Amino acid sequence: MTESSLIGFSRGSATNAFFHATNPATGETSDLSFCKASESEVLNACQLASDASLKMAALSGAQKAAFLRDLAERIEGLVDQLVVTMTSETGLPEPRVRGETGRTAFQLRMFADLVESGHWVDARIDRAQPDRQPLPKPDLRSMLRPVGPVVVFCASNFPLAFSVAGGDSASAWAAGCPVIVKAHHAHPGTALLVGKAVVESVRASGLPEGAFSLIFGDGRTVGHALVGHPAVKAVGFTGSRAGGRALFDLASLREEPIPVYAEMSSVNPIFILPGLGEERMNEIAGGLQGSATLGAGQFCTNPGIVFYPRGAGGESLVATYVGKMKETASAPMLHKGIRKAYGEGLDALAGCEGVEVLVPASDDSGGGGCHAGASVLSTDAANFLNNEKMVDEVFGPSTLLVSYDSLEDLIRIADSLEGQLTASLFGDGSGLSEFGGLLDVLETKAGRLLFNQYPTGVEVCASVVHGGPYPATTDSRSTSVGTGSILRFARPVCYQGFPDDFLPDELKEGNPADITRLDA
Amino acid sequence: MTESSLIGFSRGSATNAFFHATNPATGETSDLSFCKASESEVLNACQLASDASLKMAALSGAQKAAFLRDLAERIEGLVDQLVVTMTSETGLPEPRVRGETGRTAFQLRMFADLVESGHWVDARIDRAQPDRQPLPKPDLRSMLRPVGPVVVFCASNFPLAFSVAGGDSASAWAAGCPVIVKAHHAHPGTALLVGKAVVESVRASGLPEGAFSLIFGDGRTVGHALVGHPAVKAVGFTGSRAGGRALFDLASLREEPIPVYAEMSSVNPIFILPGLGEERMNEIAGGLQGSATLGAGQFCTNPGIVFYPRGAGGESLVATYVGKMKETASAPMLHKGIRKAYGEGLDALAGCEGVEVLVPASDDSGGGGCHAGASVLSTDAANFLNNEKMVDEVFGPSTLLVSYDSLEDLIRIADSLEGQLTASLFGDGSGLSEFGGLLDVLETKAGRLLFNQYPTGVEVCASVVHGGPYPATTDSRSTSVGTGSILRFARPVCYQGFPDDFLPDELKEGNPADITRLDA
Q: What percentage of chain A reaches a pLDDT higher than 70?
A: 100
* pLDDT at res. A433: 80
| Out of B58, B465, B520, closest to residue A463 by CB | B520
Give per-residue pLDDT as tens, B281-313: 999 999 999 999 999 999 999 999 999 999 999
Residue contact B444–A148, C-beta within 8 A: yes
Going by pLDDT thresholds of 50, 70 and 90, the confidence category of residue B87 is very high
All residues at 6 or more sequence positions from B74 whose CB lies less than 8 Å from its CB, including other chains: B197, B200, B201
List the one residue out of A325, A384, A308, A320 whose CA is nearest residue A352. Answer: A384
Task: Kindly report the nearest CA distance between residue B38 and chain A, in angstroms.
Answer: 27
Angle at B323 between CA B321 and CA B326, to 5 degrees: 105
Q: What is the mean pLDDT of residues B308-330?
A: 96
Task: Kindly report the nearest CA distance between residue A16 and chain B, in angstroms.
Answer: 37
A14 pLDDT more than 90: no
B487 chain-A contacts, CB cut-off 8 A: 477
| Out of A54, A138, A470, closest to residue B453 by CB | A138
* pLDDT at res. B14: 85
Name residue B207's beta-bridge partners.
none
Residue contact A57–B443, C-beta within 8 A: yes
Q: What percentage of chain B reaches a pLDDT higher than 90?
A: 96
Window 259-298 of A, Cβ < 8 Å to B: 259
* pLDDT at res. A16: 82
Interatomic CA distance for residues B41 and B188, integer angstroms: 17
List the one residue out of A444, A383, A387, A382 whose CA is nearest residue A408. Answer: A382
**Structural domains of chain B in order of their starting residue, each with its CATH number:** 2-128+136-264+476-507 (3.40.605.10), 270-451 (3.40.309.10)
A178 pLDDT more than 80: yes
Interatomic CA distance for residues B95 and B108, integer angstroms: 20
Percent helix, percent strand, percent coil in chain B, to nearest 5: 45, 20, 35
Query: Cβ distance A164 to A154 under 8 Å?
Result: yes
B263 pLDDT more than 80: yes
B101 chain-A contacts, CB cut-off 8 A: none
B444 touches chain A (CB under 8 A): yes
B447 touches chain A (CB under 8 A): yes
B513 pLDDT more than 80: yes
B142 touches chain A (CB under 8 A): yes
Interatomic CA distance for residues B160 and B167, integer angstroms: 9
Q: Which of B100, B263, B393, B506 is catalytic?
A: B263
* pLDDT at res. A176: 98
Task: Kindly report the nearest CA distance between residue A176 and chain B, in angstroms.
Answer: 12
* pLDDT at res. B148: 98
* pLDDT at res. A436: 87
Q: Please, what is the end-to-end C-alpha distance for chain A in angstroms?
A: 61
| Out of A145, A493, A499, closest to residue B451 by CB | A499
Going by pLDDT thresholds of 50, 70 and 90, the confidence category of residue A64 is very high
User: From the candidates B491, B508, B515, which should be mutated to test the interface with A, based on the most A CB atoms within 10 A?
Assistant: B491
Residue contact A451–B138, C-beta within 8 A: no
Task: Kindly report the nearest CA distance between residue B428 and chain A, in angstroms.
Answer: 10
* pLDDT at res. A151: 98
List the one residue out of B191, B190, B212, B187 whose CA is nearest residue B201. Answer: B212
Residue contact A494–B249, C-beta within 8 A: no
A431 pLDDT more than 80: no
Residue contact A502–B135, C-beta within 8 A: no
Nearest chain A residue (CA) to B254: A249
Interatomic CA distance for residues B355 and B379, integer angstroms: 5
Give per-residue pLDDT as tens, B411-457: 999 999 999 999 999 998 777 788 889 999 999 999 999 999 999 99
**Between the CA atoms of B352, B358, B362 and B363, what dihedral angle is there, to the nearest 10 degrees?**
40
List the one residue out of A203, A140, A211 whose CA is nearest residue A175. Answer: A211
Q: What is the mean pLDDT of residues B367-386?
A: 96
Window 119-138 of B, Cβ < 8 Å to A: 124-126, 135, 137-138
* pLDDT at res. A429: 75
Task: Kindly report the nearest CA distance between residue B495 and chain A, in angstroms.
Answer: 5
B142 chain-A contacts, CB cut-off 8 A: 463-465, 484
DSSP secondary structure letter of residue B486: G
Residue contact B479–A470, C-beta within 8 A: no
* pLDDT at res. B1: 85
ipTM computed for the complex: 0.97
Query: Cβ distance A490 to A147 under 8 Å?
Result: yes
Interatomic CA distance for residues B190 and A454, integer angstroms: 54
* pLDDT at res. A167: 98
CA distances for B119 relative to A209, B100, B477, B503, angstroms: 41, 28, 20, 17
* pLDDT at res. B520: 86
Interatomic CA distance for residues A161 and A165, integer angstroms: 7
Give per-residue pLDDT as tens, A205-220: 999 999 999 999 999 9
Q: What percentage of chain A reaches a pLDDT higher than 90?
A: 96
Residue contact A502–B457, C-beta within 8 A: no
Using only C-alpha atoms, chain A has a radius of gyration, in whole angstroms, of 24
Q: What is the mean pLDDT of residues B52-58?
A: 98
Going by pLDDT thresholds of 50, 70 and 90, the confidence category of residue A520 is confident
Q: What is the mean pLDDT of residues A302-311?
A: 97
Residue contact B470–A495, C-beta within 8 A: no
Task: Kindly report the nearest CA distance between residue B140 and chain A, in angstroms.
Answer: 6
3-class secondary-structure state, position B20: strand
Q: Which of B35, B46, B177, B300 is catalytic?
A: B300
* pLDDT at res. B432: 76
A287 chain-B contacts, CB cut-off 8 A: none
* pLDDT at res. B15: 80
Window 186-245 of B, Cβ < 8 Å to A: none
* pLDDT at res. B322: 98
What is the overall mean pLDDT for chain B?
A: 96
